[in-house]
Amino acid sequence: MQTSTAARSLVQNIVTGVDDIVREASELTRPLEIDPYRERLFELFVTAEGAGLLDEEADPRLSSDDVCHVLAERWGLADSARTWMENQTRLPADDMAQMRALWSVMRMWMEWTYAWRRWPEFHSSDDSSA
Q: What is the pLDDT of residue 78?
A: 77
Could you give the percent of the chain with pLDDT greater than 70?
A: 84
Res 3: pLDDT: 65
Backbone dihedral region for residue 88 (phi beyond 0: left; psi -120 to 50: alpha; all else: beta): left
Taking the model in full, what pTM does it have? 0.81
- How distant, in Å, are the alpha carbons of 17, 74, 91, 93 from that of 78? 21, 9, 12, 15
At 84-100, the pLDDT tens digits run 666 677 766 787 788 88
Q: Which parts of the chain register pLDDT below 50? A: 1-2, 130
So what's the pLDDT on residue 2? 45
Separation between Cα atoms, residue 115 and residue 92, nearest integer Å:
35
